[in-house]
Structure 1
Amino acid sequence: MFLLRLTLALILGGISVSVPARDYRFSDAHLHYVDFFQESAGMDELLAAMAAAGVEHAMLSGIPVAKKWHEDEPKRPRYYAGDDANAYWYSATDVLVAHAYKQLPAEQRERFHPFLSGFNPNDKNSDAHIRRMLELDPGLWQGIGEVFTRHDDLTALIQGDVPRANNEAMARVYHLAAEYDLPVLLHANITSKRERNPLYLAEIEEPLRNHPHVRFIWAHAGTSLEIHRHQTKLDFLLPTVARLLEDYPNLYIDLSWSVLRPYLLDKHGRADDAWVQLVSRYPARFMLGSDVVGRFDRLGDYLQEFTPFLDALPEEVAQRVARDNFLAVLPRRVRPATGQ
């Protein structure tokens, strides 16, 4: 297993002091086994990437939509934003995830935590579909998500209406999640690409308030690459996240890559003091994810990029963020001991 074991030399008053570097173990709280074409590099590549990066546990999910190769497009797109063709809700993504999971030996299955995602968040039939999936494979699914609601240009491309995290269909899903003790990983952008205010805050806050028995993992803390491209940095993000954490003990924050810059690290790669203080104030409420999509060669790179921020945290807090907090939100029946 790859783990950082360098020694840092500190010069204090002319005296060289050796301080062992921290040795992080990871849980990947946000990982897509397939891409937007429902294709994957496969479990062997994923296991190799996890071994190289020191990832002991991983959330395992599909992609709830499939990108169409439209009749009028001469080249097959490589990503959902590759052309103007639509995407459509794709329930078979969960079949692919379940099949890959079931092929693993029992000792390897313990490291993976499948989340069910293949449903339409605008369809009030979705909770019935999810219940059928849970009953078909009792005990297999350990969470719901990533649920795509507000999601940049993707939700504009998906056939049908733009989903909201606070609509009636999702309320039915949240009741089911509480019944089965399942956490919900929810992608809900806090604003649009243009508005410099928390335009869609109510869409995440209403479920937090109305479903206190559901553990919500907010993907990317409501941010995205597209928002960054247009707005660079949201000044209201940190105080808003801080207030929500104070008000809603059922909220957890996924710090996957779009939060890393420009929030956790500055342009010089130094940890932001305000975010260090916030994570230290709520040491059980933050987790890391690679957000890789069907290809796993950069999984370790994405997680290792968090090292400067983790190093700025108290060591016990850093290890909770890197590994333990994700495990703690899983259903009680499968929750591993944090020391394992």
Structure 2
Amino acid sequence: MSKSFSFKYGFRNSLSLNLVGGLLAASLLAMPLLSEKAQARDYQFFDAEIHYQDAKQATDGMDFLLENMEKASIEKAMITGFAVTKKWASSSPRRPLAYGSDDSPVYWYSATDMLVYDAVKSLPESEQSRFYPFITGFNPTDLNAVDHIERLLKRDPGFWKGIGEVFTRHDLLSAMIEGERPIAHHPALMRVYKLAAQYDLPVLLHSNITSPYVKEFIYLPELTLSLRSNPDTTFIWAHAGMSSAIDLRQKVEGLPELVTKLLGEHKNLNILLSWTVVDQLYDEEGAPNDAWLDVVKAYPDRFAIGSDVVGGFSLLKAYMDKFRPFLDALPEDVAHQVASTNFLQWLPVTK
């Protein structure tokens, strides 16, 4: 069973998670062994996508997260909540385990940001400095969203380092959201992008490149319009537009070539390699994909990696280790940029 059915769908601390974890760990271990030369590389990772809560707003907790960051050689991490929460409808005989458990909807949940805030603030300052919190708990179809975000920014100046993950075009998740469906170029988000530029905050945007049943990149105009209209805003495109539903139903062709084109045209665009796009980094034999190696080498300062764990942290090391063969196939200086330093350059603290 894939990651999408473990963390993305919210299973944690259960027999299901244990079974999923065992299967996933076995599949990860089945990847090609590193060469002696590759093993000599010592990566200190910046995990550019950790969701502290899942769709139930549940979490394994900060102590367990820190413990697993150490195991995974994660020195620093972006940390965010989960922008929606699952409704327990009266028609459901028991509390849903995850947002995909039944047909009841999900709704925007602003308290997710305060859960992250309290978790980070509970740490000693030396540990707080390892985390870079992003605001995610707002409705991206609400023109008031920009005011909600600015209130949080002013409440504790300097605490928040970015905005996102902003969910748009997220196949199953988008379909379950109560009310208007979010899209990347929604007028409410255009206001958020302007605020992000004002505060020098990057925006982590989830915007699928297509639907699970269409091979053409039908949602590309929504992304490019956002990029062109906000040249002073730093965008981080989550998963390069991929999702589990797309990956499950069709082979997406031409994505590294599209990414190359977009990076050349939009200086404010960066790519977060996480979730299902990781599988595209390798060919059918498990070797690093030459097309993806070429685009990363062409734009070595525009890529970062992230585990994209959601509320559960026991597989952090397995997820980060999955990047190692790809990183080892890059020039060593580029590999370290992608593994740790690029994401820091997109944040206000280093500018």
TM-score w.r.t. structure 1 length? 0.91
CA distance in 2, matches of 1:36, 1:173: 23
**Which residue, 269, 273, 290 being the options, matches 1:251?**
269
Displacement of 1:76: 2.1
Give 1:129's aligned residue: 148
Residue identity matched to 2:161: Q
**Which residue, 243, 246, 249 being the options, matches 1:224?**
243
Give 2:312's aligned residue: 295
Q: Do residues 32 (structure 1) and 47 (structure 2) align?
A: no
Displacement of 1:242: 0.9
Q: Secondary structure at the match of 1:66?
A: strand
Larger Rg belongs to = 1
Displacement of 1:19: 7.4
Q: Secondary structure at the match of 1:235?
A: coil
Give 2:297's aligned residue: 280
Displacement of 1:20: 5.7
Count of matched residue pairs: 319
Give 2:102's aligned residue: 83
CA distance in 1, matches of 2:207, 2:282: 23
Q: Do residues 193 (structure 1) and 212 (structure 2) align?
A: yes
Give 1:213's aligned residue: 232
Pair 116,19 (structure 1): closer, same or farther in 2 beyond 3 Å: closer
Conserved? CA contact 1:150–1:187, under 8 Å:
yes
1:153-172 aligned within 5 A: 153-172=172-191
Residue identity matched to 1:296: F
Give 1:118's aligned residue: 137
Pair 223,7 (structure 1): closer, same or farther in 2 beyond 3 Å: closer
Give 2:13's aligned residue: none
Give 1:311's aligned residue: 328
Which deviations, in whole Å up to 9, do the C-alpha atoms of 1:215-253 show, x marking residues without a partner? 10000000011101111x211312211110000011010
Displacement of 1:158: 0.5
Conserved? CA contact 1:64–1:90, under 8 Å:
yes
Q: Secondary structure at the match of 2:50?
A: coil
Residue identity matched to 1:249: K
Conserved? CA contact 1:62–1:94, under 8 Å:
yes
Which deviations, in whole Å up to 9, do the C-alpha atoms of 1:144-195 show, x marking residues without a partner? 0000011011011000111011011000000000000000000000100111
Give 2:260's aligned residue: 242
CA distance in 2, matches of 1:330, 1:142: 6
Give 1:184's aligned residue: 203
Displacement of 1:71: 1.2
CA distance in 2, matches of 1:19, 1:296: 26
Displacement of 1:7: 9.0
- How large is the RMSD of aligned CA atoms in angstroms? 1.4
CA distance in 2, matches of 1:77, 1:299: 24
Pair 140,19 (structure 1): closer, same or farther in 2 beyond 3 Å: closer
CA distance in 2, matches of 1:203, 1:7: 40
Conserved? CA contact 2:38–2:328, under 8 Å:
no
Which deviations, in whole Å up to 9, do the C-alpha atoms of 1:285-315 show, x marking residues without a partner? 0000100001100011101001110011000
CA distance in 2, matches of 1:106, 1:238: 40
Q: Secondary structure at the match of 1:270?
A: coil
1:2-81 aligned within 5 A: 8=35, 21-81=40-100
Residue identity matched to 2:233: V
Identity of aligned residues (%): 52
CA distance in 2, matches of 1:102, 1:176: 25
Displacement of 1:257: 2.6
Runs of 4+ residues over 4 Å off in structure 1? 6-9
Give 1:13's aligned residue: none
Q: Higher helix share goes to which structure? A: 2
Q: Secondary structure at the match of 2:49?
A: coil
Conserved? CA contact 2:34–2:325, under 8 Å:
no
TM-score w.r.t. structure 2 length? 0.89
Which deviations, in whole Å up to 9, do the C-alpha atoms of 1:88-109 show, x marking residues without a partner? 0000000100000111111111
Unaligned runs of 5+ in 1: 1-5, 10-17
Displacement of 1:133: 0.9
